[in-house]
Amino acid sequence: MEKQKKKKAKKLYYKMKDRAEELIRNPQQTKDMIDAARKKSERNKGPLSNVWKEIHLMFSLIREWRNGSYTKVPTGSIVAIVGAILYFISPIDAIPDFIPVAGFLDDIYIVKLVINQVESDLQNYRSWLGEQERTIEDETPRKASGD
């Protein structure tokens, strides 16, 4: 991805982080955001293959945090992850998503940027899941879950 597109993507991401600070105070909006992101990721699994596991780990972490099941994560990391998810679901990107394959390069760039920022928090969460004998797939919402 060219330098100018990276700069634009980061600028948009920082705006999303500002929005994330407000969004995390509303559990229903947070849930709706995760649901929208899961649906979008399922529709675009191929282009997201490089970050598939990590992005779903982030979805799961936010869901657990929202439910109060997992709280051992700093608010700054929650804001960073939610900002990346908002960037991912936003129709306003550095590279529009409707462009085949290339349209997700900026999304992947932002997701990887955030993964690097919160890597230890993701590792701690992954360990916690293992202690709970759960997997990321256990957090995938079911149609009749009422969540």
Question: So what's the pLDDT on residue 138?
Answer: 56
Cβ–Cβ < 8 Å for 69, 47: no
Can you give the C-alpha Rg of the chain in angstroms?
A: 15
What stretches in the chain show pLDDT beneath 70?
135-147
CA dist 53 and 60 (Å) reads 10
Confidence (pTM):
0.86
Domain boundaries, the chain: 3-139
Residue 135 Rama label (left phi>0; alpha psi -120 to 50; beta): beta
- Each residue of 26-53: pLDDT tens digit? 999 999 999 999 999 998 888 888 898 9
CA dist 7 and 48 (Å) reads 21
Residues 76, 12, 98, 29, Cα dihedral to 10°: 50
Running DSSP on this structure, what letter comes out for residue 100? T
| CB count in 10 Å sphere of residue 80 | 22
